[in-house]
A and B are shown apart, each in its own frame.
Chain A
Amino acid sequence: MESEKLREIALKINGTLHRLSVNTNWTLNDVLRNRLDLTGTKRACDYGGCGSCTVLMDGVDVYSCSILALEAQEKDIQTIEGLGGGENLHPLQSSFALSYAAQCGWCTPGMIMSAKALLDRNPNPSETEVRAALSGVLCRCTGYASIVQAVLDAARVMRGGS
């Protein structure tokens, strides 16, 4: 690719600053997955139609396929890898895992990040509020009921309930 299309940028992802050279038309999703090997963030369509690429940008759930890497500079990006893992799963991750809300697992990271944005702004959402908040992420496997329940369960745990 011609050199004039390349830019040196810095992206703050999960608290770590990454300096890298990107093509100007690369999306945040391209860079996360193909250059930084942060493959927890998925992609199912590449045009904002499914939400499986959802990440948090300054705390707001956004489609990483529809944001250029250049635009993500000076923002605080959080991906599923930054939420938790191994022994330190986030309550949302635990509730999704335990209640079979992650069937194939492809929409799961996007669904969980979108749910995280919801619970950060509303720790005690109703079922209707959960459905409205997650409506930007499609799932093909579950029928959604287990996902709604998992978010409500996680919210209860995060509020200190059992």
Chain B
Amino acid sequence: MSETLRTVGQSVPPIFGMEKAAGTVRFPADINFPNMLWMKILRSPHAHARIAAVDTSVAEKIPGVAAILTHRDVPKVLFGAYQNEIYPLDEEVRFVGDTVAAVAAEDWNIAEEATRALRVTYDVLPAIQDPEAGVKSDSPNAVLHYPPSEELRPGDIRPDQLGTFGNIIGLREGGPTVANERGDVESGFEQSDVVVERVFRQAQVGAVSHEPRACVAFYENDSCTLWCSVQDPYRLQDGVARVLGLPMEKVRVIATNLGGAFGVKVTGRFAVLCALLARQTGRPVKIWFTREEESLDSHNRSALTHYIKAGAKRDGSLTALKVRTFLDNGYWPYGGLGQNIAFAICTRPIDLYHQCPNVKWEVYVVRTNRPSTGPYRGRADAESHFPIESVMDELADGIQMDPIEFRLKNRLREGDDLCSAPNKVVSTVWVEEAARAGAQAIGWERRSLISSSNQGPQKKGIGMAMVIHSCGSNPAGTSEAEVTIDEMGHISLFSGTADQGSEQQTTLRQMVAEVLSVSLDDVGGSNADTSTCPYDSGPFSSRTVYATGIAASRAAEQAKTKVLEAASLILDEAIDQLVMGNKSIWARSATSKRVTLGELTRLAGGSISGKGIHNGKDDHLFAYGFAAAFAEVEVDVETGRVKILRLVSSHDVGRAINPMIVEGQILGGALQGVGYALCEGFYFDPRTGTALNQWFLDLRTPSILDAPHIEPVIVELGEPTHPFGAKGCSEISYVGVAPAIANAIYHATGARVTELPMTPDVVLKALQDAKRSAP
């Protein structure tokens, strides 16, 4: 097949590129209406409190204030991003920055002034700031209030289904949220020649999308249209319909382009409140988050602590792995997302090291009075790979084996059962190929030479990490797509996925163009508009190119079959004697026997369409993406500063539908991984829970001057479960960077850094610890 591909595999320019460069793409924040009101949210100054009273009398009198919503003014209807877990407003606030009330006013200044004029009386409640303290039986509860049963509607989750005991989200009292166990770890350690025991800590980090979330709601004729920064427009459609008591078809959500999302832009209160205010005032209403709101009223990557013990034999076989992880879930009242992340944390690395016979990994997802956490780029695997890959490195060192060979000896192989996807087996595993290609690119063979030539305070080293991450197989996801051909012969793809920067519409249209043997310019369409596009769970878990790609290819195949059937009648030729190309169909025997797509569609009744669907739960074969990250660093042992000399990010992508986009995603993900490794972290006052660095200047995401040289390596060996052999790859490059850098520091200095971010003070402390424990 590969010889005949024309569009798939080409680095065609992204379809939204020109509009983005011209500044004419309308992101939700760029929607303006005459007569539009501005909305502002009043946020809680307390980590945990009950709202006793809200006095709106002063705010109401400010000229230009159009409407105020407190928890008494909104429908007590549950909606949410995962289940139906939150009210539009609640009488309980659960973190510093939680939503208390909302105001709509003539301009943004007045709206802000009015929120400041609201007089709120809070009954302050005990707050949980530390997840490990939160699991103790005498600790106060981070969340007091559950939706009472009588307020629930059919389909809502009931409090007893929340599965929460004290502050631990889980299925049995006193136990962890999730545990993954096999064999007997204690006997495994007895058989070990080397055992490593460490504690790893990782700070909370945010996606830091540059577009602060926005929503514009327009209400007319009992219908509501929202332009909103969400990756899950169909979920928001459901939420707005529930809260406003409207039929689903009366709510339209448009999320065509987002200014970055990275997993965290999910349905939230701001959008539902915006819709309520639009209905109440009869005018369009706009909310646009500040940077502070975007940092805190989001779903960040959790802060984590891992207690880990691992053993190996001298022959390189892993013998046992025992981990206890505490995950700071934040305030979110339902832990559905924390639970899913916890499951992936304790299963995916175990799948990657499938040969390890003895495992016990417990994850405690603990609710605290901190911002909510959730699925940010590299979800679950960025959380787990830093400790696991650090320990693998140390074990390899302990048995004096090459770190790559040690990992490969214990790795997952094609057809193995997956504990991360029960009853499924893994399809292709090109991890060895990715590791070897990456090793060649970084010059792995120089490794011993580099460390032996280290003199003076600047020490060089090379380290690596091996990675597994989702690439689109997802039992919980559904993607539909529709391909239409109109009577003018125009081809359109309709897909429910937002473009948040990964330009999936380009990639999807490349697949459609390939199936229909047309050029990319011949395929138009629209995306992420709930009124015109079929359902899609959304661009999460690197699933669009894989899952939506399968759906789009199937839709195009169905349309093609209909075209060929119609052409067979029109041209009086057998289907297998027809050739399709250049928006025409002709007979193989006589090219003059030909009909154009437009003519054919008109003769066939005016329109031809095909539909495709992909549902992850139907597949027995499960596709995973694999990668290997390599870092060459220079550590200044006097200052603790780590300089990245080179990064290599090597990827099993199955097949690159658009290599330029694939490389762009790898580079961008890897630099975010550098931020996670070296400089990013949200910090909170441990007494009050107040965020200390929610702004760009003190958050320190990497600038153009911080960005090291990053080399992407693409391994294309195919994936049989995808029509073009592709695996999603927009997140995985994030995951391996932090452990690869930590391992390079270890190689350079012998010091094991166990904390993220690896700021100079953290590195200095690790260097001192290493010196102290040296014989």
**Chain A positions near chain B (C-beta within 8 angstroms):** 1, 23, 25-26, 30, 33-34, 37, 39-47, 49-50, 52, 79-81, 84-86, 89, 92-94, 96-100, 102-109, 112, 131-132, 134-135, 137-148
Please, could you name 9 A-B residue pairs with CB atoms under 8 Å apart, sorted by A? Answer: A40-B23, A40-B24, A44-B291, A50-B696, A99-B660, A132-B705, A140-B262, A140-B672, A144-B704
Are A49 and B23 in contact (CB-based, < 8 A)?
no
What 0/1 pattern do residues 239 to 256 of B give for CB contact below 8 A with A?
A: 000000000000000000
Given the contacts A99-B660, A143-B710, A89 and B21 also touching, CB distance less than 8 Å: yes
Is B6 positioned at the interface, with any CB of A under 8 Å from its CB? Answer: no
Complex partner residue of A39 from B30, B64, B258, B291, CB under 8 angstroms: B30
Please tell me if B44 contacts chain A, counting CB pairs below 8 Å.
Answer: no
Q: How far is the CB of B432 from chain A (nearest CB, A)?
A: 26
Residue interface bits B640-670, CB-to-A below 8 A is 1, else 0? 0000000000000000000011001001101
Binary contact readout B526-537 vs A (1 if CB under 8 angstroms, 0 otherwise):
000000000000
Interface size class of B (residues with CB under 8 A): 35 or more
The 7 A-B residue pairs with the shortest CB-CB distance in the complex, in nearest-first order? A40-B23, A105-B20, A104-B501, A49-B696, A106-B259, A97-B17, A143-B667
Q: Which of B195-229 contact A (CB under 8 A)?
A: 207-212
Q: How far is the CA of A45 from the CA of B694 in the complex (A)?
A: 10
A147 contact set on B, CB distance < 8 A: 704
Given contacts A1-B63, A23-B109, contact A141 B501 (CB under 8 A): yes
Whether A103 contacts B21 by the Cβ 8 Å rule is no
Distance between Cα atoms of A42 and B211 in the complex (Å): 8
Smallest Cβ-Cβ distance to A41: which chain B residue: B23
Residues of A near B660 (CB, < 8 A) are 99-100
Q: Contact at B701–A112, with CB atoms within 8 Å? A: no
Which of chain B's residues have a CB closer than 8 A to the CB of A140? 207-210, 260, 262, 668, 672, 701
A145: nearest chain-B partner, CB-CB: B667
Q: Report A61 CB to chain B, min CB distance, Å.
A: 14
B interface with A by C-beta (< 8 Å): 13-14, 16-27, 29-30, 32, 63-64, 107-110, 207-212, 257-262, 290-291, 500-503, 660-661, 664, 667-668, 670-672, 695-697, 701, 703-705, 707, 710
List of B residues within 8 angstroms of A105 by Cβ? 16, 19-21, 25, 27, 257, 259, 501
Of B22, B261, B262, the residue contacting A89 (CB under 8 A) is B22
Q: A34-B107, A40-B23 are in contact. List 17 more A-B contacts (CB 8 A).
A: A39-B23, A42-B211, A42-B259, A45-B291, A85-B24, A86-B22, A93-B21, A94-B21, A97-B13, A97-B17, A97-B21, A100-B660, A102-B14, A105-B27, A106-B210, A135-B705, A142-B664
**CB neighbours of B14 from chain A (8 A):** 97, 100, 102
Smallest CB separation, A25 vs chain B (Å): 7
Contact A39 B704, beta carbon cutoff 8 Å? no
Q: Which of B18, B20, B29, B107 has the most CB of A within 10 A?
A: B20
Q: Which residues of B are found within 8 Å of A100, using beta-carbon distances?
A: 13-14, 17, 503, 660-661, 664
A109 vs B695: C-alpha distance when bound (angstroms): 21
Give the shortest distance, in Å, between A142 (CB) and chain B (any CB). Answer: 5
**Which chain A positions have C-beta within 8 A of B108?**
30, 34
Contact check, B22 vs A80: say whether CB atoms are below 8 A apart.
yes
A26, closest chain B residue (CB): B109
The answer to whether B704 and A131 touch across the interface, beta carbons within 8 angstroms, is yes
- Contacting residues, chain A, for B19 (C-beta < 8 A): 105
Among B212, B290, B500, B701, the residue within 8 A (CB) of A138 is B701
Alpha-carbon distance between A34 and B37 when the two chains are bound, in angstroms = 11
| Alpha-carbon distance between A104 and B110 when the two chains are bound, in angstroms | 31
A20 to B10, CA, bound (A): 49
Q: How far is the CA of A40 from the CA of B29 in the complex (A)?
A: 11
Instruction: Give complex CA distance A45, B671 in Å.
Output: 21
CB <8 Å contact, B24 and A143:
no
Q: Which B residue sits closest to A106, measured CB to CB?
A: B259
Distance, CA A100 to CA B666, complexed state (A): 13
Could you tell me if B107 and A23 are in contact, using CB atoms closer than 8 angstroms? yes
Residues of chain B within 8 A (CB-CB) of A41 are 23
Asked if B210 and A103 sit within 8 Å, CB to CB, the answer is no
In contact, B21 and A112 (Cβ under 8 angstroms): yes
Q: Tell me the bound Cα distance from A40 to B109 in angstroms.
A: 22
Which of the residues A44, A103, A138 comes within 8 Å of B501, measured between beta carbons? A103
Q: Say whether, besides A49-B291, A97-B14, A108 and B671 are in contact (CB < 8 Å).
A: no
CB distance from B368 to the nearest CB of A (A): 26
Chain A contacts for B668, CB-based, 8 A: 103, 140-143
Complex partner residue of B697 from A26, A49, A79, A135, CB under 8 angstroms: A49
